[in-house]
Amino acid sequence: MQITVNDKTLEAKPGEMLLAALRRGGVHVPTLCAMEGLLPTGACRMCVVEVEGTRGLVPSCAFPVRDGMKVQTHSQRAVRARKTIVELLLANHPDDCLYCSRNNNCELQNLAGELGVRQRRYQGGRTPARLDMSSPSVVRDPDKCILCGKCVRVCEEIQSVSAIDFVGRGSKTHVAPAFNVGLNVSSCVDCGQCILACPTGALTERSHFKDVFDAIRDPKKLVVVQHAPAVSVTIGELFGARPGVDVAGVLNAALRRLGFDHVFDTSFAADLTIMEEAHELVQRVKNGGVLPLITSCCPAWVDFAEQEFPDLLPHLSSCKSPQQMLGAVLKSHFAKRSGVRPEDVFVVSIMPCTAKKFEANLPERRHDGLADVDAVLTTRELARIIKMRGLDLRDMDAEGPDTPFGERSSAGKLFGASGGVLEAAIRTAHFLVTGAEMDAVKVREIRGLQGLKEARVKLGSLEIGVAAVSGLANARRLMVEVRAGRSDLAVIEVMACPGGCVNGGGQPIGADLDAVRARMKALYDIDRDSAQRTSHTNVLVQRLYDEDLGHPGSEEAHHLLHTHYHPRDAEV
């Protein structure tokens, strides 16, 4: 099917919306509410175009293509309409771009620039709104909200959490949890996908800058930083790299220059997690324990499970997440070895995630009266700090992380992609069951961006079913099956964010599916090129067991590395 756009011929597919054909044809029409992979709502009207034979302007996102249709995307009328829309949005928007965390990365600001808005055309009273700082991870500033509805949709359609929705009508419409309560008492699971969806600064992460700077300045504190597997393959984007470039080496260098005393890799703790989790799996399989075993690395998922599936909590692995495990080891055995009091060790995590801020705050994730982790910075926050200190990742030479917790297998690195925890666990479970390595360690069926991936894998003579699911709506569907008695699965990995941590709520904003795929591929490439692809062959993990923890599942391991869950009733 052919259509004519701006006097040129474009190919279109029957049944698709005009916007899809325009994008494929390289015609740029701005949008504010369109979401990749979801049905159009036609709410923002930014994508209006002129179609010959129709009376008014039509929203191209929700207008099906017709053979031979003639379209003008940038007629004077269309451009003027878009500009007016932006001017009307700005009429109820604070003029504080200079102080906004989305300055220079704001879709509204970009559109105002593109459309040549140079003055405040509409004067009028602004709707007052209240800042919601109640959540440990997500800050809501409804003053900056343009009511595009993307956060509402991602929360409902992708995550099936529905913590927020439109409240009220007309000029009083705003986005809020039910009864306008704070996010902290809503069903919000802190995943931060709404932050990625937000075109403006209405949703941002709760910053831990000050805690980190204060600790670095404090001479008594030994400030230790760990960075998560998914951070090194995304932070480069904030310094101009294309998606999917691994910058682990310069990341280590930058963290040292910022003043951290030790730079460690959370992937080490991922290997440690696998030792504990694979041990737990094999125990459960052998002893008729509760199956399927469900992973517990993702704090947004754990929060969701405590709230929505309290009956399935016995399925969850009792393992803490890697960030918490490393924090607990740092504040116990590492502190002792370094001759520092555990309370003087300050642990900072660099995470692709906002829910990690929530997790670090939980009373159940402490040991011996100390928080495992003291402060969590998202990928975005770290990039901001690096720039603030006048550093640029492009100008630095790569450095290695510190020993002993810098050593990692590429299995631990895979934690950053959906299916990666499962793949790492399968590799080690195979060794635990058979005493031999797998012939081919790659498990292709559980790689990639699909929301639900299933496979049957052989651990010697034992065949088990496994599944990796990402996006909480997908997880909900699978959990409903488990609740109904589905019994062919031995392990389920759940990641709250679609695609896993590479697409986490703390990652660079503005990534499309191709970018997420490239980030995933970067992790797979690291694994392909790695000489050490299994967690149980990480010699420094082995040494930690030999010298301090005993063996996987030991009493000391349980004391430091495991936790418990309890049903949590969200108020609304």
Which residues does the annotation mark as catalytic? 277, 280, 297, 317, 356, 359, 364, 501
Place of tokens 């709250």: 496
Rounded CA gap, 349 and 324, in Å? 9
Residue from 64, 113, 124, 168 in contact with another protein (CB under 8 A): 168
We find the least distance from the C-beta atom of residue 358 to another protein, in angstroms, to be: 19
Token code pair at residue 86? 């932006």
Stretch in the footprint of another protein (CB under 8 A) among 174-182, 260-268, 408-416, 539-547: 174-182
Q: Are strands 174-176 and 203-205 parallel, antiparallel or unpaired?
A: unpaired
166 contacts another protein (rule: CB under 8 A): yes
Cis peptide before 404 (omega within 30 of 0): yes
**Residue 92 contacts another protein per CB under 8 A:** no
467 closest CA partner among 419, 523, 524, 413:
419
Instruction: For the CB of residue 173, give the shortest distance to another protein in the complex, in Å.
Output: 9
Is 164 a binding residue for another protein by CB under 8 A? The answer is yes
* DSSP secondary structure letter of residue 449: S
User: How is 494-516 classified by DSSP, letter by letter?
Assistant: EESSTTSGGG-TTSPTT--HHHH
Query: Binding residue for another protein (CB under 8 A) from 165, 211, 525, 556?
Result: 165
- Nearest approach, Cβ of residue 353 and another protein (Å): 23
Instruction: Give the x-and-dash track for 226-265 against another protein (CB under 8 A).
Output: ----------------------------------------
Stretch that binds another protein, among 76-84, 165-173, 507-515, 539-547 (CB under 8 A): 165-173
Ordered alpha helix ranges (H), 25-144: 76-91, 107-114
Tell me phi and psi for residue 548, to 5 degrees: -125, -45
Binds another protein (CB under 8 A): choice among 31, 184, 186, 470: 186
Rank residues 1 and 178 by Cβ distance to another protein and give the closer one. 178
Binding residues for another protein restricted to 263-302, rule: CB under 8 A:
none
Residue 292: cis peptide before it, omega within 30 degrees of 0: yes
Q: Does 178 bind another protein (CB under 8 A)?
A: yes
165 or 548: CB nearest another protein: 165
The neighbour count for residue 406, using CB atoms within 10 Å, is: 18
From CA 175, how far away is CA 74, in angstroms rounded?
Answer: 32
Residues 315 to 354 in contact with another protein, rule: CB under 8 A: none
Q: How far is the CB of 507 from another protein (least distance, A)?
A: 25
User: CB of 40: closest distance to another protein in angstroms?
Assistant: 20
- Give counts: helices (H), strands (E), the chain: 19, 19
Judge contact between 378 and 354, C-beta under 8 A: yes
Q: Which of 361, 359, 386, 398 is nearest to 504 (CA)?
A: 359
Report CA Rg, the chain.
25
Nearer to another protein, 192 or 401 (CB): 192
Provide, rounded to whole angstroms, the least separation between the CB of residue 471 and another protein.
Answer: 17
Q: Which is nearer to another protein, 172 or 210 (CB)?
A: 172
- Closest to another protein by CB, 156 vs 437, is 156
Check binding of 572 to another protein (CB under 8 A): yes
CA nearest neighbour of 399 among 244, 218, 250: 250
Nearer to another protein, 307 or 554 (CB): 307
Question: Which residue number, 156 or 211, has a Cβ lying nearer to another protein?
Answer: 156
Interaction between residue 162 and another protein (CB under 8 A) = yes
Among 59, 177, 327, 508, the residue binding another protein under the rule CB under 8 A is 177
Judged by CB under 8 A, the residue of 1, 167, 313, 452 near another protein is 167
Query: How far is residue 315 from each of residues 30, 291, 343, 459, 492, measured CA to CA in Å?
Result: 46, 6, 33, 21, 9
User: Does residue 187 interact with another protein by CB under 8 A?
Assistant: yes
Q: How far is the CB of 541 from another protein (least distance, A)?
A: 42
Q: How far from the centroid of its chain's Cα atoms is residue 150's Cα?
A: 16
Binding-residue total with another protein (CB under 8 A)? 16
The minimum distance between CB 132 and another protein, in angstroms, equals: 14
**Minimum distance of another protein from residue 148's CB (angstroms):** 16
Q: Does 169 sit near another protein (CB under 8 A)?
A: yes
Q: Cβ distance 232 to 246 under 8 Å?
A: yes
Q: Which whole-number Å values give the CA distances from 557 to 68, 367, 566, in the listed order?
A: 68, 12, 21
134 scored as a contact of another protein (CB under 8 A): no
What does the buried/exposed string (b/e) look like for 476-495 if buried means 16 or more CB atoms within 10 Å of the residue's CB?
A: bebbeebeeeeeebbbbbbb
CA–CA dist 310, 163 (Å, integer): 18
Under the rule (CB under 8 A), what is the footprint of another protein? 156, 161-169, 177-179, 186-187, 572
